[in-house]
Amino acid sequence: MQLLTTTLAAFAACASPSSSATATGPVVNGPAATRPAPAKDTLSPPGLVLVPGGRTKVGTDFDDMKELIEEHTEAQELAAGFLSEVPQHTVTVDDFFCAVTEVTNEQYRQFVLATGAQPPLKWGAPALDVARQTFLEEEAEKRRAAKEAGERVPERKKFDEFYWWERNWEGAEWEMPEELAKQPVVFVDYQDARAYAEWAGLRLLSEFEWERAVRANTENNFTWGEEWETGKCVTKELRATSDIVEAGRYPGGASPLGLQDLHGNVWEWTSSRYVEYPKWKHQSFKVGKGRLVKEIDRRPKFSPDRRVTRGGSQQNSWIFARASTRGGFDRQQKASHLGFRVGGSVKQGLDFANIALDAIPNAIRPQDSKGPVEFDSNQVIARDRWISSNAGSDVPDYEVIERYDYVLYTPVKSLQVNGLGDIRKGSQTDEIYHLGVLVTNQDLVEPAIRAGTYMIALRGAGKYPPRKEEGEEEVVVEGEEAAAEPEQTTLRVDEFLEIDTSVDNYLFIDMSGTPVAAMPATDLDYGNPKAGMGTANVVDRTVMIEVSANDPKDPEATEEIEVQQQWLEVSFFIKGRSRKGLKAMLGLRFAEGLLDSTWR
């Protein structure tokens, strides 16, 4: 871990940790009263607003950048960083959701409490006070002992609170100071920011989305227009404050959509790599006149391992807060003026589906005749919800996310089959056909499996193939017959599960590659796609169950009764070798009443 204290190409205007008053005592900051996410817009995640996309100007024209650098001494000293934003070009940005503020301390606290993640430095004041006192006493004892022994007295050392916290935070006392609750969280690196976003069912913005949030369909430098206006955000020009302020303190600088603090206060992590823009080329130039002329010949420290930060901070002048300014920070860097903002894709469930797919171990990723099976996250089928609280904020649309619940099914892109006959024929060699990935944080009743990630496969109806006797040679099929056979993952299902081989079965395979449950696949068809595919609908099913007859003469007697059960029916289509494909419905049962109206 690194504490960011220098400027250079990263525009590191973040100084070493600034002191702040902190409360003492045990952690007592529990979550605010919870409620479902606001129903005014069932598509928007809480605390985020929809930003319409479109063709967007990003970056700065070289001549304009040259003029800016010539006019501002501060820009000349850090010209390399500013030159990373040329040349100006146009990109197309899709619609996206954007948080109305940077993530605040009280929002981040919910993540820390839920996951056990590292609390930021400023929350560690109780433990740091004790550690600092112990350090000073130990150093004083070393100097005293050296004097008594007639030895050279050691030089005085400063207590490095950042170094100590990084190595001792686990098990240390901490709490979030209430006075920091609505300030942007800082001392979080890129990994911390991304982990929070994933926990919340969201993601970090790309740098182009961030610039779109500022500029919309204009080429303006700021949310309010082209020219700088002091007092609309927290930069060095605003002498009324010397530190970070609460999110939304200066609403006059908000975007037309209500996005607060896109300029100043704290730098914001994005997901974008700090690399050259298309057609970037190194150009040197001269500034000044006569004997004061100076050549600017600086190169940005581009690196795909770095990430772009945006917005500038309270420690910077306004030229760092422009829409096009790019910072390039190492992913492990933490600083007193470095935070982040979250965003999300408009496609429901897409962001978390990508997270889940990335997490599947390579060792169990399925193969077919064309190589690794590809999952299509753009076709994800989702039911999800957020639990959130306004936490008494006056900022419009501000919400503290306390939990993200989800049921997501991501189908594969295609199947190497020509019909159900191919699938059922495959049962003769115990082949299975991967259909998709199910990921949920809710336990299921049917099949009876725990919350988690499962690959869903299909085994066609048909008896198990005969087991190969010990010492028996494997039969190798060659020529046209072998070429005609779709090569799928082969698995002796009967080694793990008892299934009714007279019907088609869905298999649920956990992340160790083990089949853990099976369900009859009773609603399969093969043909052209139809309306209603790609949906997840909550339906009531009438089923017959066997219960005790309560007959005192025959305690083992049973009877069948009719009951209503709530099921989630996931309907999907997977293209086969032609235009036609598999039409299927996967039924899942959760606890009764779980999937209520608060779910999207």
Cβ atoms < 10 Å from Cβ of 98: 23
DSSP letters along 136-162, please?
A: HHHHHHHHHHHHHTTPPPPPP----HH
In this prediction, residue 557 carries a pLDDT of 82
CB 37 within 8 A of CB 387: yes
Average pLDDT estimate for 396-422:
95
In this prediction, residue 5 carries a pLDDT of 41
Kindly state whether residues 110 and 141 are assigned to the same domain. Answer: no
Inside any domain, residue 254 = yes
**Pairing mode, strands 96-99 and 48-51:** antiparallel
- How far, rounded to the nearest angstrom, does the alpha carbon of residue 515 sit from its chain's CA centroid? 28
- Choice between 427 and 19, residue whose per-residue pLDDT is larger: 427
Kindly state whether residues 354 and 260 are assigned to the same domain. Answer: no
Inside any domain, residue 20 = no
Kindly state whether residues 260 and 372 are assigned to the same domain. Answer: no
Kindly state whether residues 380 and 409 are assigned to the same domain. Answer: yes
Closest CA to 510 of 467, 453, 566, 464: 453
Kindly state whether residues 235 and 328 are assigned to the same domain. Answer: yes
In this prediction, residue 478 carries a pLDDT of 55
Kindly state whether residues 508 and 575 are assigned to the same domain. Answer: yes
Domain termination site, one of 345, 373, 389: 345
Domain termination site, one of 175, 206, 221: 175
Average pLDDT estimate for 381-391:
95
Kindly state whether residues 124 and 51 are assigned to the same domain. Answer: no
Closest CA to 458 of 482, 491, 483, 485: 491
Closest CA to 102 of 185, 208, 44: 185
Q: Where are the beta strands (DSSP E) in 311-380?
A: 327-330, 333-334, 338-340, 342-345, 367-368, 371-372
Inside any domain, residue 546 = yes
Inside any domain, residue 280 = no
Q: Using 50, 70 and 90 to split pLDDT, how confident is the model at 530?
A: confident
CB 364 within 8 A of CB 119: no
In this prediction, residue 190 carries a pLDDT of 98
∠ Cα 381 384 385 (to 5°):
160
Inside any domain, residue 28 = no
In this prediction, residue 473 carries a pLDDT of 58
∠ Cα 318 321 326 (to 5°):
130
pLDDT in tens, 84-94: 999 999 999 99
Answer whether residue 144 shows pLDDT above 60: yes
Kindly state whether residues 443 and 490 are assigned to the same domain. Answer: yes
Provide the 3-class DSSP secondary structure of residue 226. coil
Inside any domain, residue 597 = no
Kindly state whether residues 213 and 303 are assigned to the same domain. Answer: yes
Residue with tokens 């639990």, as numbered in its chain:
387
In this prediction, residue 369 carries a pLDDT of 74
CB 122 within 8 A of CB 186: yes
Provide the 3-class DSSP secondary structure of residue 248. coil
CB 4 within 8 A of CB 10: yes
Could you list the residue range(s) of the whole structural domain that residue 137 is in? Answer: 120-175
Calculate the average pLDDT of the chain.
87
CB 114 within 8 A of CB 363: no
Q: Residue 210 class from Cβ within 10 Å (0-12 exposed, 13-18 middle, 19+ buried)?
A: buried
Q: Using 50, 70 and 90 to split pLDDT, how confident is the model at 558?
A: confident
- Choice between 237 and 489, residue whose per-residue pLDDT is larger: 237
Average pLDDT estimate for 347-358:
94
Kindly state whether residues 142 and 71 are assigned to the same domain. Answer: no
In this prediction, residue 303 carries a pLDDT of 96
Closest CA to 186 of 114, 132, 250, 108: 108
Answer whether residue 247 shows pLDDT above 90: yes
Percent of the chain exceeding pLDDT 90 equals: 68
CATH of the domain at 66: 3.90.1580.10
DSSP letters along 273-329, please?
A: EE-PPTT-----EEES-GGG-EEE------EEEEEEEES--TTS-GGGSSTT--EEE
Inside any domain, residue 27 = no
Kindly state whether residues 502 and 438 are assigned to the same domain. Answer: yes
Average pLDDT estimate for 427-434:
86
Task: Tell me the helix, strand and coil percentages in the chain, rounded to 5.
Answer: 25, 30, 50
Backbone angles phi, psi at 102, to 5 degrees: -60, 160
Report the alpha-carbon distance of residue 6 to residue 112 in Å, rounded: 28
pLDDT in tens, 168-181: 999 899 999 999 99
Kindly state whether residues 341 and 357 are assigned to the same domain. Answer: no
What tokens does 520 get? 């009859």
pLDDT in tens, 453-503: 999 999 999 887 776 665 555 555 455 544 444 444 556 787 888 889 899
For residue 87, whether the previous peptide bond is cis, meaning omega lies within 30 degrees of 0, is yes
In this prediction, residue 464 carries a pLDDT of 78
**Pairing mode, strands 505-509 and 452-459:** antiparallel
DSSP state letter for 18:
P
Percent of the chain exceeding pLDDT 70 equals: 89
Domain termination site, one of 315, 345, 375: 345
In this prediction, residue 154 carries a pLDDT of 86
- What Rg, from alpha-carbon coordinates, does the chain have? 30
Inside any domain, residue 171 = yes
Closest CA to 37 of 341, 405, 451: 405
In this prediction, residue 278 carries a pLDDT of 95
Report the alpha-carbon distance of residue 153 to residue 321 in Å, rounded: 48
Please count the structural domains in the chain: 3
Closest CA to 10 of 334, 329, 337, 331: 329
Report the alpha-carbon distance of residue 207 to residue 196 in Å, rounded: 18
